[in-house]
Amino acid sequence: MSFSRKCIAVTGASSFIGRHIVDALSGFDDADIRLMTHVRPLGDMVRPRNAALFQGDLLKPETLDGFLEPGCTVINLVNLIGPAEKDSRTAMTNLAMACR
Protein backbone atom coordinates (compact mmCIF):
# COMPACT_ATOMS: atom_id res chain seq x y z
CA MET A 1 0.00 0.00 0.00
CA SER A 2 1.39 3.39 -0.96
CA PHE A 3 0.25 6.83 0.14
CA SER A 4 1.16 10.04 -1.65
CA ARG A 5 0.98 12.23 1.46
CA LYS A 6 1.58 11.49 5.09
CA CYS A 7 -1.32 11.82 7.48
CA ILE A 8 -0.57 12.77 11.07
CA ALA A 9 -3.48 12.81 13.51
CA VAL A 10 -3.05 14.35 16.96
CA THR A 11 -5.56 13.85 19.77
CA GLY A 12 -5.30 16.25 22.69
CA ALA A 13 -3.89 18.92 20.37
CA SER A 14 -4.74 21.77 22.75
CA SER A 15 -2.81 20.25 25.67
CA PHE A 16 0.56 21.61 26.80
CA ILE A 17 2.52 18.94 24.92
CA GLY A 18 0.03 19.02 22.04
CA ARG A 19 0.71 22.68 21.42
CA HIS A 20 4.44 22.00 21.15
CA ILE A 21 3.92 19.04 18.82
CA VAL A 22 1.58 21.04 16.61
CA ASP A 23 4.17 23.81 16.45
CA ALA A 24 6.80 21.26 15.38
CA LEU A 25 4.43 19.79 12.77
CA SER A 26 4.01 23.20 11.14
CA GLY A 27 7.20 22.45 9.19
CA PHE A 28 5.75 19.28 7.64
CA ASP A 29 4.50 20.69 4.35
CA ASP A 30 4.24 17.21 2.82
CA ALA A 31 1.72 15.96 5.40
CA ASP A 32 -1.96 16.33 6.12
CA ILE A 33 -2.23 17.28 9.79
CA ARG A 34 -5.41 16.47 11.69
CA LEU A 35 -5.90 18.02 15.11
CA MET A 36 -8.56 16.85 17.54
CA THR A 37 -9.58 18.80 20.60
CA HIS A 38 -12.33 18.01 23.03
CA VAL A 39 -13.18 21.09 25.03
CA ARG A 40 -10.44 23.66 24.74
CA PRO A 41 -10.23 25.60 21.48
CA LEU A 42 -6.82 26.09 19.94
CA GLY A 43 -7.04 29.79 20.74
CA ASP A 44 -3.89 31.68 19.87
CA MET A 45 -1.98 28.50 19.09
CA VAL A 46 -0.19 28.51 15.75
CA ARG A 47 -2.08 26.17 13.47
CA PRO A 48 -0.26 24.79 10.44
CA ARG A 49 -1.84 25.81 7.16
CA ASN A 50 -2.10 22.12 6.20
CA ALA A 51 -4.02 21.25 9.39
CA ALA A 52 -7.67 20.36 9.72
CA LEU A 53 -9.36 20.88 13.08
CA PHE A 54 -11.76 18.28 14.49
CA GLN A 55 -13.78 18.54 17.67
CA GLY A 56 -14.24 15.12 19.20
CA ASP A 57 -14.61 13.00 22.27
CA LEU A 58 -12.84 9.65 22.55
CA LEU A 59 -15.72 8.45 24.72
CA LYS A 60 -18.07 9.00 21.76
CA PRO A 61 -16.72 6.89 18.89
CA GLU A 62 -19.03 8.53 16.35
CA THR A 63 -17.02 11.77 16.76
CA LEU A 64 -13.98 9.96 15.32
CA ASP A 65 -15.64 9.55 11.92
CA GLY A 66 -13.50 11.27 9.30
CA PHE A 67 -10.64 11.98 11.70
CA LEU A 68 -8.45 9.05 10.64
CA GLU A 69 -7.61 7.48 7.31
CA PRO A 70 -5.64 4.34 6.42
CA GLY A 71 -1.92 4.80 7.01
CA CYS A 72 -2.35 7.72 9.43
CA THR A 73 0.22 8.14 12.19
CA VAL A 74 -1.68 8.77 15.42
CA ILE A 75 -0.20 10.76 18.29
CA ASN A 76 -2.47 10.34 21.31
CA LEU A 77 -2.00 12.96 24.02
CA VAL A 78 -5.33 12.47 25.77
CA ASN A 79 -4.96 11.90 29.49
CA LEU A 80 -8.19 11.43 31.38
CA ILE A 81 -7.70 12.32 35.03
CA GLY A 82 -9.92 12.89 38.03
CA PRO A 83 -13.44 11.48 37.81
CA ALA A 84 -12.97 10.76 34.08
CA GLU A 85 -9.96 8.51 34.77
CA LYS A 86 -12.23 5.47 34.98
CA ASP A 87 -13.17 6.11 31.35
CA SER A 88 -9.57 5.90 30.10
CA ARG A 89 -9.84 2.28 29.01
CA THR A 90 -13.04 3.01 27.06
CA ALA A 91 -11.46 6.04 25.38
CA MET A 92 -8.34 4.11 24.36
CA THR A 93 -10.43 1.18 23.11
CA ASN A 94 -12.51 3.58 20.98
CA LEU A 95 -9.37 5.15 19.53
CA ALA A 96 -7.82 1.73 18.85
CA MET A 97 -10.98 0.59 17.07
CA ALA A 98 -10.99 3.74 14.94
CA CYS A 99 -7.35 3.09 14.05
CA ARG A 100 -8.17 -0.48 13.11
pLDDT averaged over consecutive 10-residue blocks of the chain (100 residues)? 75 86 86 83 70 89 92 90 80 93
Residue 1: its pLDDT value, please?
A: 46
Q: Is there a contact between 13 and 22 (Cβ–Cβ < 8 Å)?
A: yes
Residue 43's pLDDT is 63
Name the pTM for this structure.
0.83
CB 51 within 8 A of CB 35: yes
pLDDT (tens digit per residue) in 45-74:
667 788 888 888 999 999 999 999 999 999
Give how far the C-alpha of residue 63 lies from the chain's centroid of Cα atoms, to the nearest Å.
Answer: 12
| Confidence at residue 39, expressed as pLDDT on a 0 to 100 scale | 66
The pLDDT value given to residue 18? 85
| Bridge partners, residue 74, by sequence | 9
Closest CA to 34 of 86, 80, 69: 69
